[in-house]
Structure 1
Amino acid sequence: MRVLLSTYGSRGDVEPMVALAVRLRELGAQVRVCAPPDEDFTRRLAEVGVPMVPIGQSVRAAGAPLSSDLSRHATELIARQFDAVTAVAAAAAGCDALVATGMMPVVAGVRSVAENLGIRYGYVTFHQLTLPSPHRPPLAYPGRPFPPDVDPIPGLDINALFVAALNTYRASIGLSPVDDVRDYVRDYVIGDRPWLATDPTLDPWQETPDFDVVQTGAWILPDARPLPADLAAFLKAGAPPVFVGFGSMPMHVSADVARVAIEAIRAQGRRVLVGRGWADLTLIDDRDDCFVVGEVNQQALFARVAAVVHHGGAGTTTTATRAGVPQVVIPQAADQPYWAGRVAALGIGAAHDGSIPSIESLSAALGTALSPETRTRATAVADTIRTDGATVAATLLFDALSRETVSA
């Protein structure tokens, strides 16, 4: 049984696929992961021994691929994905299933690949905003907000943006053109039984009549890596610090964010732990109450800090919630305002108003997050977070493929 997992996006898009790959392999499947060639992703997949097929260009080097010229970037993204998948044609042709996630133009291309090969296809999302629902507006593309009365179905805007690019590459592999990308996304890319790999407490899904959404729980792989010795020494040397980091977000937040965060945290009488991340955050002075870290085991780290200040990525939000640590979410883009709202609604932290913090605004948010009430609530919610999402998804896919093998 051979499975190809495909994703194009940041660390939050890649890490869950790592978890699924490991669980599928434990069940006996052969798994490969298509992912951008960023060093972080290459190293992570090598750590767990899962073969990686590099696709497209570095996400970190590319910055925000859907910012200024969406139509041009759609063409480029689909081209990269087709080039990558066709470059491993022998492996892809022998696969029994293809599971895809990431940026919609890329996933549309991957769906066409599965269609061409005649293999099982599955779509997964790590937040519900890409799924059609009458209960909320869809996720809009940057610079293209939806009007207030828009029909709440994702894909409405992508028809004009992506139809030419998608059809060019469908024609190149002998497939008929798509008339309406909106219908194609709804009926074939998302499909009638998509996976929602999020925790039901953090991301409660409201049933709709048109889709049989399978909410598996978040796909998380336990991390047993020890914390670096110098970090462990810093943690041991005083009271738990407040962690601040923006993960794999390039610095769309103010370049002054490190100074603002450090001063706001110090104003609360707390030590500071700065996560360098893709924004290359660093310290502002040589005082011994601050420490900077690179890539570390966040599952272990978050359990030892007083609060986490972050951008609101699905993975970081889930990890902090599981750790029972209060959060301040400073959302930057895409689904991050949604996660900020969920953190506030659950009472496990504060949603910062806007993407650029000031010392005053962050201090106010930290005041909420560091209160005893928020700490108590964060501890309680942590006990409700599921840890078996990747196992659930792997078992569903493995059992389905096994039944097809038996009936063939």
Structure 2
Amino acid sequence: MARIVITTWGSFGDLNPYLGLATALRARGHHPVMAMPAVYAPAIAAAGLEHAITEPDADPALDPQLVRRVLHPRHGAESIFREVLLPVLAESHASLLRAAQGADFLVSHPAAVTAPIVAEQLAMPWVSTVLSPLLFMSGYDPIVPPPAPWVRHVPWAWRMKTAPWIADAGRQISNRWMEPLQQFRESLGLRRVATPMFEGQHSPHGVLAMFSRVFGGPFTDWPPHTTITGQLLFDASYGATLEPALARFLDAGEPPVVFTLGSSAVMIADRFWDESLAAVRRLGRRGVLLAGPVHAPRLAAGAPPSVHVVSEAPHSLLFARAAAVVHQCGMGTLGTALRAGVPQLAVPFANDQPDNADRLQRLGVAEVLYPSRYRAWRVARALRTLLEEPAYTRRARELAGVVATERGAEAACDAIEGILDRVTRNPLRDTAADAATASG
């Protein structure tokens, strides 16, 4: 079977879907290789997968100020590329090229900016992936640009009319950031590509949209050969079971409101946890706070019996027992909440999160409250609406029924194996596709 190199960078939300893909590929007899930074080594080892260390070896867990910059509401995406990814282009390219030698296939993440280069140099079949609809920058699917969250309040007809302009503006802005990548391509004797952060990141062989079809698409300006797979599940990074004390708490009363900020925003929570604790007191509801290792001890010491505080817990097991989930709106967290069929309070920080939050609200399963406005009385008011208005729960359960039918890992594996089969039967077709990428 095939040796398949999978590469990504980011938070656990950027790792877990690819661990889910790797374990599914392994179950089909393939040999996945996780070409990823050293910081991921414990999670990769726990999954029993081969690890090839690549750059950038930036561990946000060791640098809260870096997290604050990459989650800045206006400049977060720019910081990710200019501060983390682009300064180490040569090192990233060299390490991924080593990992890909002798492999049969490559799977890339949007932050793996040298993956298209390596695939082109090795004439290797590959798929690109996206985790959220924003990254397609479609002119037919209005987005909420991270620097302009107010767009979500604009009438829908106007948003539809201006969607192509907003998408083009996003491409032009990102092209300025990505000029070092274009120059690096030229230094290797390769041609420049159009919009390297968007169309230029995608494979001509296939694109995996690794989110639920409830978000819409595909649209005519998405890349050709795009497959909407549904969410790829892998929750073991947060443990395989609920810790006994948490399980006892859940068994002892009504479903709680669960508060979480994932694995990145939790580091810059500021007043989030204290306001959350005050909000559940106002509501008179039970709560669970996944507060991370920094905040959990302090919060646990002062929490009432109706609130249980832990550092982390497996979302798939916990959300299914929640009354509602309050979260930062990363695609992994919100996808798991969709699968659980519970209302959501979205608290988006940056990057794709404002757009994700807007989509949840339009689906009828969520309310949105930005971090700058996150105060106990507003949180309590929003949660009261979510919990007492039956339409939210009804809609959440309807969408959970759709999500439950999706088989993300299986669909992704099918798409990859389909490309491998085409290459085996007609290798010239894919060589031509690589040439088309170089001239794009």
TM-score (norm 1): 0.86
Partner of 2:223: 211
Cα distance in 2 between the residues matched to 1:359 and 1:187: 42
- The amino acid of 2:190's aligned partner reads S
- The amino acid of 1:6's aligned partner reads T
Partner of 2:52: 53
C-alpha deviation, 1:131, in angstroms = 0.8
- Residue range with higher mean Cα deviation, 22-31 or 243-252: 243-252
Q: What percent of counterpart residues are identical?
A: 26
Cα distance in 2 between the residues matched to 1:269 and 1:314: 29
Contact kept in structure 1, 2:89 and 2:181, CA below 8 Å: no
What 5-or-longer segments of structure 1 have no aligned partner? none
Partner of 2:304: 287
Match of 1:96 among 83, 89, 104: 104
Closer, same or farther: CA 285–278 of 1 in aligned 2, 3 Å:
closer
Structure number with greater CO (CA < 8 Å, separation at least 6) is 2
C-alpha deviation, 1:73, in angstroms = 4.8
Partner of 1:239: 254
Secondary structure at the counterpart of residue 370 of structure 1:
helix
Contact kept in structure 2, 1:75 and 1:162, CA below 8 Å: no
Partner of 2:189: 175
Partner of 2:436: none
Closer, same or farther: CA 132–72 of 1 in aligned 2, 3 Å:
closer
Cα distance in 1 between the residues matched to 2:273 and 2:175: 40
Cα distance in 2 between the residues matched to 1:239 and 1:71: 42
C-alpha deviation, 1:239, in angstroms = 2.2
Closer, same or farther: CA 143–361 of 1 in aligned 2, 3 Å:
closer
Partner of 1:3: 4
Partner of 2:13: 12
- Residue range with higher mean Cα deviation, 225-234 or 243-252: 243-252
Contact kept in structure 1, 2:265 and 2:328, CA below 8 Å: no
- The amino acid of 2:86's aligned partner reads I
Match of 1:383 among 388, 392, 401: 401
Contact kept in structure 2, 1:247 and 1:278, CA below 8 Å: no
1:220 aligns with 2:225: no
1:125 aligns with 2:142: no
Cα distance in 1 between the residues matched to 2:242 and 2:402: 26
Secondary structure at the counterpart of residue 109 of structure 2:
strand
Closer, same or farther: CA 141–353 of 1 in aligned 2, 3 Å:
closer
Matches within 5 A, 1:2-81: 2-38=3-39, 41-54=40-53, 55-56=55-56, 57-60=58-61, 61=63, 62-63=66-67, 64-65=69-70, 70=78, 73-74=81-82, 76-80=84-88
Match of 1:87 among 95, 113, 122: 95
Q: Calculate the aligned-residue CA RMSD, in Å.
A: 3.1
- The amino acid of 2:231's aligned partner reads A
Secondary structure at the counterpart of residue 240 of structure 1:
coil
CA deviation profile, 1:243-262 (whole Å, cap 9, x unmatched): 11101233586512111111
Match of 2:359 among 334, 337, 342: 342
CA deviation profile, 1:330-378 (whole Å, cap 9, x unmatched): 1111111222222222222322255440112111110122125022332
CA deviation profile, 1:200-240 (whole Å, cap 9, x unmatched): 11x11152156333211111247692211111122222222
Closer, same or farther: CA 323–382 of 1 in aligned 2, 3 Å:
same
TM-score (norm 2): 0.81
Partner of 1:199: 212
Contact kept in structure 1, 2:341 and 2:400, CA below 8 Å: yes
Cα distance in 2 between the residues matched to 1:36 and 1:336: 24
What 5-or-longer segments of structure 2 have no aligned partner? 152-158, 428-440
Contact kept in structure 1, 2:81 and 2:177, CA below 8 Å: no
Secondary structure at the counterpart of residue 266 of structure 1:
helix
CA deviation profile, 1:89-111 (whole Å, cap 9, x unmatched): 443111222111133xx42x221
Secondary structure at the counterpart of residue 167 of structure 2:
coil
Contact kept in structure 2, 1:24 and 1:398, CA below 8 Å: no
C-alpha deviation, 1:390, in angstroms = 1.3
Match of 1:257 among 272, 277, 284: 272
Hey, which of these two has a bigger chunk of helix by percent?
A: 2
Contact kept in structure 2, 1:14 and 1:35, CA below 8 Å: no
- Residue range with higher mean Cα deviation, 313-322 or 343-352: 343-352
Match of 2:412 among 386, 390, 393: 393
Closer, same or farther: CA 235–186 of 1 in aligned 2, 3 Å:
closer
Partner of 1:112: 117
Closer, same or farther: CA 84–397 of 1 in aligned 2, 3 Å:
same
Partner of 2:263: 248
C-alpha deviation, 1:389, in angstroms = 1.1
Contact kept in structure 1, 2:235 and 2:315, CA below 8 Å: no
Cα distance in 2 between the residues matched to 1:128 and 1:331: 15
